[in-house]
Structure 1
């Protein structure tokens, strides 16, 4: 059958229009998560329902139960915004007591106590570091049949400012100040009439500049100062007139009257080396080492004054600790067994000696 030319053109145009319409449709959207595409067809994958349930399987909804919970034994610490300051507040109290009732071997009832307050405020940010610590200590002993006696007495303050060139180096340019004195009068027992030391008699002030080595992440501080001023204060005039702790003593006449009162300050210029190191010797055993070495350039070059304290802390639990403390001091300006005549003449000039103390105690340590 013959088809006219017009009909051929119309049929071709119809097929072209039909192809254009079909190619522009997108009736089924494409889903990436749960569909599979095969050429131009889209087949949705459906999850088959569970037909066989094994024995012992429970398909019930989960239930929240508090039967297995326990109360919190430790109070959770509140969240604190990170700070460049390190703060430490410690109260340490140690007590010891001995009592006797009809004790055949004999003995006197006694009570001893030692209290310590310790504060630390350290600031560190990049190139700048500022360390401060303040310590108060006082101990006493009361024994049956005699008055109480002082066993420990100290006020100590230390401040160090450091600056380094970059954050990689552990060496700092530093300025350091130390101050030490005591609370109450000190006596050479059993003599309670003439105190041998009092508040600010002596009082020690160290002020100098140098360099410090402070490694990151360790409680280690080595300070070297080639020029440090040391001032020994004796503000009690009676002790100053005697020339205690190295100050210039008073000038007396033939009858023992004071012509020129004694000086209240003994100044020195020299070199200072201090070293602090706190580390864990074993589990729950902490060692704190603190030594100070000072040498005077002007009056006694080559002589070294030593103050070395070593402390072992044995941690029993969060609040109870046992401590062993030793302290060794040598200062050639502190003379022992000095004797003077009634008119002020020196019978025995005395001599410097090594001073040593040791303490052992068990007590309560509270951080707040």
Structure 2
């Protein structure tokens, strides 16, 4: 009985404790702890600076946007760098002279010269590939005369080079060059018989060799010990006359053609070309091109020369002046050819001569 009473007394005393710590009791929500914990900085006493250098500025920096200006130019987006160099140039040179009751005399005249140049060059590490196309055509008309041609040229050149490392300026190269003209050429005032036409002549050079191309300079020296030169005369009348070195037609005593002349002539020889562009003075640049060729099989040592020297004077972005000369010597181009009027046979094949051309012009130019 005493044990039972003692047990009941213990349960009555410990009842509230078991009620608070029971597992199935839900804990009431509690407020979050909002106690602020901060850092306390204790500054030590500092001594005054006795010696202040002149270069030291102890004033507080001030940030101001008063001198900031709005951007006036459009922001250029980033462009992926290209290894291609692209150049396009169009030019038109005009000249005119007119007389009205001019005591000293003179004929009204007008001349125009159009030219275009397109350049596509690629260069990256070991490879350099240069391409350019030049087109020129000029006319002149004078009072009392018909239209005459003063300039006519189509010139294309492509040169591919490979070098073994990026330090050397010597390349293993292959070069292709092609030259011809647009329209008929005459020995004025005779307009009945053309002395040249489109692809009559046409010259094609294909060769391989080495090139010297120094970095940062528009200089190219090309030496090819093996170059094939093909001369095309697609006009049969000119081919029958043996123009520009092709084999002429075989005729009988009456002038009747037995075997027509060949329309192409192939040579194999050595070629040396040099191209150089450099500034001479302010707004004055020099463009030098020379091509030398000698045939191994037919007449080795006899050199064909094509040399151009041009000065370009830049007035502004749209007005330019040009002064240039060109010298051509080709043993296959003959002058003073004498033919028989009856049979058409060539009595005297003529002699080669130095051809010279000079140009001075000012006009409009646009590059893009």
For normalisation by structure 2, the TM-score amounts to: 0.81
| Alignment partner, residue 160 of structure 1 | 159
| Alignment partner, residue 323 of structure 2 | 324
Q: Does 1:346 align with 2:340?
A: no
Cα distance in 1 for residues equivalent to 2:152 and 2:273:
22
TM superposition shift of 1:348: 1.9
- Report Cα offsets for 1:95-130 as digits up to 9, x if no partner: 100011111101111111100010000001100111
TM superposition shift of 1:43: 5.6
**Contact 2:251-2:345 at 8 Å conserved across structures:** no
Q: Secondary structure at the match of 1:42?
A: coil
Cα distance in 2 for residues equivalent to 1:243 and 1:144:
36
| Alignment partner, residue 43 of structure 2 | 42
Q: Secondary structure at the match of 2:43?
A: strand
Counting only pairs closer than 5 Å after superposition, residues 170-185 of structure 1 correspond to structure 2 as: 170-185=169-184
Cα distance in 1 for residues equivalent to 2:105 and 2:75:
51
| Alignment partner, residue 364 of structure 1 | 364
Counting only pairs closer than 5 Å after superposition, residues 299-314 of structure 1 correspond to structure 2 as: 299-314=298-313
Cα distance in 2 for residues equivalent to 1:80 and 1:301:
52
TM superposition shift of 1:295: 0.5
| Alignment partner, residue 89 of structure 1 | 88
**Contact 1:135-1:157 at 8 Å conserved across structures:** yes
Mind listing any 5+ residue stretches in structure 2 that lack a counterpart?
A: 1-36, 47-61
Cα distance in 1 for residues equivalent to 2:319 and 2:40:
72
Cα distance in 2 for residues equivalent to 1:225 and 1:145:
50
How many aligned residue pairs are there? 315
Counting only pairs closer than 5 Å after superposition, residues 3-18 of structure 1 correspond to structure 2 as: none
Cα distance in 2 for residues equivalent to 1:349 and 1:64:
83
| Structure 1 pair 280–188 and aligned structure 2 pair: CA distance change class (3 A) | same
**Contact 2:255-2:345 at 8 Å conserved across structures:** no
Cα distance in 2 for residues equivalent to 1:205 and 1:97:
37
For normalisation by structure 1, the TM-score amounts to: 0.81
RMSD between aligned alpha carbons? 2.3
**Contact 1:28-1:42 at 8 Å conserved across structures:** no
Cα distance in 2 for residues equivalent to 1:355 and 1:324:
17
Cα distance in 2 for residues equivalent to 1:78 and 1:367:
23
TM superposition shift of 1:257: 1.5
Cα distance in 1 for residues equivalent to 2:195 and 2:338:
14
Cα distance in 1 for residues equivalent to 2:358 and 2:45:
85
| Structure 1 pair 213–345 and aligned structure 2 pair: CA distance change class (3 A) | same
| Alignment partner, residue 189 of structure 1 | 188
| Alignment partner, residue 127 of structure 2 | 128
Q: Secondary structure at the match of 2:106?
A: coil
- Report Cα offsets for 1:294-349 as digits up to 9, x if no partner: 00100111100000000000111111111001000000000001011122433222
Counting only pairs closer than 5 Å after superposition, residues 13-28 of structure 1 correspond to structure 2 as: 28=39
| Structure 1 pair 44–159 and aligned structure 2 pair: CA distance change class (3 A) | farther
| Alignment partner, residue 14 of structure 2 | none
| Alignment partner, residue 274 of structure 2 | 275
| Alignment partner, residue 140 of structure 1 | 139
| Structure 1 pair 80–153 and aligned structure 2 pair: CA distance change class (3 A) | farther
Mind listing any 5+ residue stretches in structure 1 that lack a counterpart?
A: 1-25, 31-40, 46-58
Counting only pairs closer than 5 Å after superposition, residues 182-331 of structure 1 correspond to structure 2 as: 182-331=181-330
| Structure 1 pair 62–155 and aligned structure 2 pair: CA distance change class (3 A) | closer
- Report Cα offsets for 1:161-217 as digits up to 9, x if no partner: 100000000000000000000000000000000000000000000000000000001
Q: Secondary structure at the match of 1:160?
A: strand
| Structure 1 pair 306–77 and aligned structure 2 pair: CA distance change class (3 A) | farther
Q: Secondary structure at the match of 1:204?
A: strand
TM superposition shift of 1:27: 6.4
TM superposition shift of 1:80: 4.1
| Structure 1 pair 248–119 and aligned structure 2 pair: CA distance change class (3 A) | same
